[in-house]
Chain A
Amino acid sequence: MEILHLLLSGFATALQPDNLLMAAIGAFVGTLVGALPGLGPTSAIAILLPLTAVLSPTKAIIMLAGIYYGAMYGGSSSAILLGIPGDAAAVATCLDGHPMAKQGRGGPALGIAAVSSFFAGTMGVVALVFFGPMFADQALKFGPPEYFALMLLALTVVIGLGGASISKALAMGFLGYLLSLIGLGTMTNMPRLAFGYAPLWGGLDVISVVIGLFAISEVLNGIEEKKVAISMGNIGSVFPTRNDLRKSAIPTVRGGLLGFFMGLLPGVSAAITTFLAYDLEKKCSKTPERFGQGAIEGVAAPESANNATSSAGFITLFALGIPASPPLAVLLGGLMIYGLTPGPMLFQQNPDFVWAVIASMFIGNIVCLVLNLPLVGLWAKLTQVPFGILAPIILLISIVGTYTIRNDMLDVLVALIFGILGYFLKKFHWPLVPLIICFILGPMLEKSLLQSFAMAFENPFIFFQRPISLSLIVATGVFLIISIILRRRTNSRIASSGLEEI
């Protein structure tokens, strides 16, 4: 077992006190920046990357691993406490995490998020060690038709999460697709849906749409509900109760496995897997109507899927040199600055370094858990601030945060418009989730469709001629039928219980 030996020596490096300190600093700072509303892991890593430049390569990379996990965790804490997801992947966590925080159970929600992130992250690193090279070949087999089929599969989520009315969900989904296509055309590179307005050529930014729909509109709703505070009194114990743990154990495992295996495919982002995991839990649950109202399973599953997907992303990154998500792209940049070229040769060229990195990712994960469980109290204190103070803070940081993503004032305007739009859509019970999912998936759906046609020389049957895409399409059909049947059964129950849709 040469691998084990190498891994152990990697641990020896990563566990040196000064290296451990770097991991701790990285995890703390990463969480802090990631927890700023609107700043997701991508921006957090990009921002903190220069800070590591003063260190020696090994220390810097260990710190980067800490920052990475910290930023991932920080993103979910603002999603849970403030209902403001830092990136698209945290939207699913919002759905149940924020209601939990509103009910005064922010502590357990954050605790479960930390625990399930840790579990999935660890699982991912272990898998990276043993299966990394094996999966590399499989990932390459995914061509455009397979991705198209995969996007269709993800579309069933829209039906599953769409609230009471399928037609409303579909309409919102189509709108989401349409909005995502604003910008330069895939094929011609000519502007489309911009109606002659040049600043729109760059398209709408996901984060500004998300902040508008989920943060600004939420605050507007808050004013109306005359909230004194998002949560007064106790946020609940920081540590999840045994009951919480028991309830979320299986969702964590399920979400982790789903997130991991889907995440092995380059291009399947955590945004996709978190929604799939959430939907899967809702389907498996005996009480699906609790979802969206603060079900702890609805926090555990997407959080676990999120981290498992990013861990799986490490495999495609290290084994193929393909960054599977924006945060990994930034991390790739960081690795390359230190002379590491991810790719199949990496393990042969720089074994010591690589195994130190893998070990430090493991350590970073643990440090994150150890650091964050006690600090959950600190993050959760945020929710005890009166609404009259918290709301202006959220509104202003939403605006400033939106601006800093692309340094573009147009994004701010977009966020404001979507804030008002979100307010009215909620009023009239049009579901927001399909809009945002389709907005995220739209470009990939279109691209894979056009690419498939191109590579098959305009043969539309290509999707049914390749085994992987065919089985995905069959799976889509099956899921669609199941979810429509399930809806019929639960629909009346949800409607009669008078609960609000997400």
Chain B
Amino acid sequence: MKMKKKMIWIISILLLSVIVAGCSSQGSSQPAKQEAPYPTKQIELVVPAGPGGLTDLTARLVADFVSKKWKQPVLVINKPGAGNVTGLQYGLMQGRPDGYTAVADNIAASVLMVAGMKNPPIKLEDRIFVSKFVDNPMCFSVAADSPFKDMKELVEWIKQNPEKLTHSSLSTISMNALTAAELCKAIGVDYKKTQPILVQSGSAGITMIAGGHAILGDQSVQETYPLAAGGKLRVLAVASKERSPLFPDVPTCQELGINIDVTWYGGISLPKGTPDYIVKKWDQTIAEIEQDPEFINKMKEMHGNASYLNTADYNNSIKEQVEQYTELFDSMGVRQ
């Protein structure tokens, strides 16, 4: 009897060791400190948002193309929550700086968080901005049955009645708030007098505009397009420098003499401490796929705009924007 018990113990320990050995041999393939070949295994691309939105869709597209180039799987991981913070924390703070964890970053997660908070949970220095890969300009829209026929009428009305202006916004320091605030600043109206209505998602915000529950839509062209194309919304002006291919007939604000340029964008970031040669490899690869007509086309189908900035330019533009928007958020009284 005792013998049998012993035997069982031995067998179970043997089994255990086989399994443990099996799993440890997998984890032990760590790249050396020197320039190890990269990539040699699966890469995780963390998306700080849920599946379905533009951040997610474009990240999946990039993952697909990078994976084809490098012949290694690139796994997209959705980590939504806490307004980008959960995903960033997972990817940038907990992720190892070995090039096998990357983050699909965006302007709201980087610039706006840093500019809008006095003590942001994730700072600019916590990551390496590699390159930008997608653009999505903001635009102004009103409900289809709204009395405002063009941007001029709307601007005149806002100047007269700033305290009656309702607009939808994801948070007090979101792209929407920024877009509306830039408009107010450009036409000489106090943003603090306007009434933002906070919504849970871009599509909820734009639906509210189409239903006439708020006056001014300040969403991205990608979010605005479906309802605008269906005749539920009237798009008055695009907030970027150039017209949007989605709305070729809609003038830009600058054409109308309103000097603003607000565009949502997404890019790749890596955790702080990732070796230089890996950062360069990512940047080069992104640059290459941005040239690929298939990539550009796929991007168009998602209503995004393939747009590349290399590491240096991307970092410079981010720094510039942070300064500019910190000041703006301060003047809006929303910086906490």
- Residues of A at the B interface (CB closer than 8 Å) are 42, 46, 53, 136, 140-144, 183-184, 186-191, 198, 201-203, 266-267, 319-323, 326, 329-330, 332-333, 336-337, 339, 341-345, 406-408, 443, 447, 450-451, 454-455, 457
Contacts and interface: CB of A to CB of B under 8 A. Distances in A.
A320 B86 contact: no
Contacts of A443: 200
B226 interface: yes
A136 B210 CA distance: 11
Given A202-B81, A203-B82, A336-B57, A342 B172 contact: no
A443 B198 CA distance: 12
A190 B81 CA distance: 13
Contact of A320 (B172, B195, B227): B227
Interface stretch (B149-157, B178-186, B201-209): B201-209
Contact of B232 (A42, A140, A142, A188): A140
Interface residues of B, number: 51
A330 B226 CA distance: 17
Contact of B198 (A42, A320, A345, A454): A454
A46 B78 contact: yes
Contacts of A186: 198
Given A321-B227, A454-B196, A140 B57 contact: no
A332 B86 CA distance: 24
B295 interface: no
A329 B171 contact: no
Contacts of A187: 172, 198
A344 B230 contact: yes
A332 B225 contact: no
Contacts of A190: 336
A450 B198 contact: yes
Interface of B: 50-53, 56-57, 60, 64, 77-83, 85-86, 89-90, 121, 163, 166, 171-173, 195-200, 203-204, 207-208, 210-214, 225-227, 229-232, 301-303, 336
A251 B43 CA distance: 50
B268 to A, nearest CB: 20
Contact of B82 (A201, A267, A345): A201
Contact of B211 (A141, A344, A406): A141
Contacts of B301: 336-337, 339
Q: Nearest 8 A-B pairs (CB), nearest first?
A: A344-B230, A343-B226, A202-B81, A321-B226, A143-B213, A329-B52, A140-B211, A201-B82
Nearest to A185: B171
A197 to B, nearest CB: 12
B52 A333 contact: yes
Nearest to B46: A407
Contact of B336 (A188, A321, A322): A188
Contact of A343 (B50, B172, B227): B227
A360 B103 CA distance: 36
Given A190-B336, A341-B225, A406-B80, 14 more contacts: A141-B211, A142-B211, A144-B197, A198-B89, A201-B82, A202-B81, A320-B227, A322-B207, A332-B52, A333-B52, A333-B56, A341-B229, A343-B227, A447-B199
Contact of B52 (A53, A330, A457): A330
Given A344-B231, A443-B200, A455-B213, A329 B50 contact: yes
30 contacts: A46-B51, A46-B78, A53-B64, A140-B211, A142-B211, A183-B81, A183-B82, A184-B82, A189-B172, A190-B336, A198-B121, A201-B85, A203-B82, A321-B230, A326-B50, A329-B50, A329-B51, A329-B52, A337-B60, A341-B229, A343-B226, A343-B229, A344-B232, A345-B230, A407-B90, A447-B198, A447-B200, A450-B198, A451-B199, A455-B195
A237 to B, nearest CB: 39
A411 B197 CA distance: 31
Contact of B204 (A267, A339, A408): A267
A321 B231 CA distance: 13
A440 to B, nearest CB: 14
Contacts of B86: 201-202, 406, 408
B235 to A, nearest CB: 14
Contacts of A322: 203, 207
B195 A454 contact: yes
